[in-house]
Chains A and B, each alone.
Chain A
């Protein structure tokens, strides 16, 4: 799993710098809740997850809500008395790991705790990730009743051999059933896909996309597989047992996804995210790319509030030990200066269609904008709206575009 970045040592009580209110990331506020448990660890996954049985008392699933409650108390205390205190959550997102390894009532309980601490905004978006084989109709109904509005199923692929390479255990046919159950409970449905798994052909990918469209989701996320060092798959690639995903193949697959999803009415709004309408976009995801404020709860979770980024102790044990001692679970942080924030704003917002305003760039950027337009990486709408719109080719080159424009921030 990835190491946490290097940063400053945060104060034990997690206090933010005095001027952080003035540097809030906009008016909205979000919560991310990391649930670090999985039934099995997938070979490609470098997220902070543990199988349920490997953690001892104080850090295991049964104590999770209680531990999380302590961090919620820390967040209350840190924000108390500042203008940041009075923002209810606009979005809440349960991710992992596999949040649905917890009983539905447990997830509902955590949401209640958050609601009690900060409140939920009118029409707040509340999402949980779910494995197709870890939920059923009753489970989903419980979530909907507790205030969840959205469920994001980790479908990944509809092709058995691809799922096997990914160590995913669910039966592809299960997806249709749980999507129907979610709809019946009144939840919006998103399906997550991974492309570029070693051994996946372009036809396999088409099969997965077509399967997704049959389920008529409101939202699709399509992420290319990234082989990370330190994962089992990383080791297999290093040893030559699996081929390294080929960048041209990934580009082909992205283009196929964009074509098929667009034909079915799912248009892109962020490089890897597609939705049926502006109403079904994932606001929580957008909050990240808009560099908004969020509190990340749980082991290893990252937060961004008031111009400060911090990250929690990764291991559930270390995280709970710090909370048990009455301290903040944060182990590192960065207080961002204006230049760094400007760079991050560009790096993140370029990926959202029509988000980043050209007037944040210096006049010296103009020739590069013209060049990018001529090369077909920026869409003509960039000029008419004064905001960056990437073409499909441009989306595939977004990091390169950021590198070019970042030398010309106003």
Chain B
């Protein structure tokens, strides 16, 4: 029988009155598919936090998209009781988002913990994203408990990967725990190790209250639910609190913990992790990283580390059916309530009509938003090729911030700055050459290279973000048979020899196809796009040149020959009705065409050209 905490002992870890010594705050750092949710499920069961009859797979992943894609978008905290040597402890497990797009949110989750489980699939070894988050955790001085999962798999190589993990964190391979989230083997040891090795939280119970927000979630019924870690002092219901970044104040309507279902509490003390409800309706009023303090007796300084979410990738979203524009607008307004990082403003495209220019943290964020719009609001959307933020300085010194290639300034440009990233790539050593070639091709410069083990290499590159958002993931996966993984982080900006390539149809520019590319790649982009459009746009009554141009200079040209025959030679046995209906159908089809100047372009051609084979499809 597992050492679950008895009803008698539970009183010692009552939410409102647990001494910090009996609290352990930890998170799990893992790559998607390495079994984090399954391990969490086992922990919930073994600690008795969830009764067997209530158990369901991936208990903590609430949103459908999360569960289906096997990824965790939004973090959440769960309080579990666990007894070691006769003493009851409260374990707060803080679920971290697992993706590079949400690095800032990950860093705030880590800041709420004293320790982390480094969870790695014993058949696959560590991945680049996990490594990046591990480094973040180590920078935050978290105690790392290495765990190899899925030891029940036939392909598991626990010896090999224990060695790898031990090397990374400077431990002994024998200290690496081996578990199976699926069978539950070893999970009790993990819980014991958490209690023994992770330091209890430290804070000043008598100081003015300070609690750091590490997540906030919009709930249709409750409004925004804010997840906090109390650093100093104590939060109590009905008290008036202030958000230190904005100075706005709210009354705490409810305080509690997730266990994992919400349990209302009389308060939260030092080191506790729980949720607050203030009745606000927009997650922007409860920002991740911000500090909550008492309004009447505020703290002097906020908890360090807060920053505003910054969109890195931009894309235009347009409804395929133009009459859906108001639906799209309302849908974005709703999603925004739950997504502080989503930014958007109306955009009009001559080719695609009315839509929104949206800013995202990264490609996965874009994909998730798009998928939610289509799924939850029943919209069909076209999204334009993702773009980054360029800073264009003109010769006269004026400066333009360009998030949309069609807004790229005309005239004499002095320099163009583009955002750069530091990329970390983990690859089996046999693919090092292929990966280096790819990075070079993508304008990367090598920063360093290390062998993690005999056959696994970590490559560090500085790369333009624009190259990453274009087709880097797919190219990396295809060159390494899917084995390489990538993580990247913001690394300032560089001046680059960039140009805008326009696509002209019969002399008229098609705004949706303009792209900012490096001058060495302008020609190949132009040739590829013109060629693709030639295959997608039907022949017209006149010859249609498709040109790629930099300013007024044509760099590529294709021609759609004029249609020569558009007549049916006869009627079918006097079936005029059939002929007329065909005509009416053709006329209706013509009405659905988008006109670019005098050229009729079917909507499908835009969709096909924008959702190119080259576009990233694996953004994980």
* Residues on A facing B (Cβ under 8 Å): 2, 4-5, 7, 32, 34, 46-48, 95, 222-224, 226, 247-248, 250-251, 254, 271-272, 288, 291, 294, 296, 300-304, 309, 311, 334, 340, 343-344, 347-348, 375, 393, 395-400, 402-403, 406-407
Contacts and interface: CB of A to CB of B under 8 A. Distances in A.
A403 B586 contact: yes
A400 B541 contact: yes
Interface stretch (B265-273, B412-420, B452-460, B558-566): B558-566
Given A247-B563, A397-B541, A406-B587, A296 B569 contact: no
A248 B570 contact: no
B2 interface: no
B221 interface: no
Given A344-B580, A403-B583, A403-B587, A272 B570 contact: yes
B565 A2 contact: no
Contacts of A399: 566-568, 583, 586
A226 B569 contact: yes
Nearest to A250: B565
Interface in B535-572: 541-542, 563-572
B51 interface: no
Contacts of B569: 222-224, 226, 271-272
Contacts of A4: 575
Contacts of A294: 574
28 contacts: A7-B577, A47-B573, A223-B570, A226-B569, A247-B563, A248-B564, A248-B565, A251-B565, A271-B567, A288-B574, A296-B573, A296-B574, A309-B576, A309-B577, A347-B580, A347-B583, A396-B564, A396-B567, A397-B564, A397-B566, A397-B567, A399-B567, A399-B568, A400-B541, A400-B563, A400-B566, A403-B583, A407-B587
A251 B583 contact: no
A302 B567 contact: no
B266 to A, nearest CB: 72
Contacts of A250: 565
Nearest to B589: A403
Interface string B319-361: 0000000000000000000000000000000000000000000
* Centre residue among B568, B569, B571 by max chain A CB count within 10 A: B569
A169 to B, nearest CB: 22
Contacts of B590: 403
A348 B541 contact: no
A351 to B, nearest CB: 8
B131 to A, nearest CB: 51
A56 B579 CA distance: 33
A345 to B, nearest CB: 11
Contacts of B586: 399, 403
A344 B578 CA distance: 11
* Centre residue among B570, B577, B586 by max chain A CB count within 10 A: B577
Contact of B541 (A226, A248, A375): A375
Contacts of A396: 564-567
A95 B586 CA distance: 29
Contacts of A247: 563-565
Contacts of A291: 576
Contacts of B542: 375
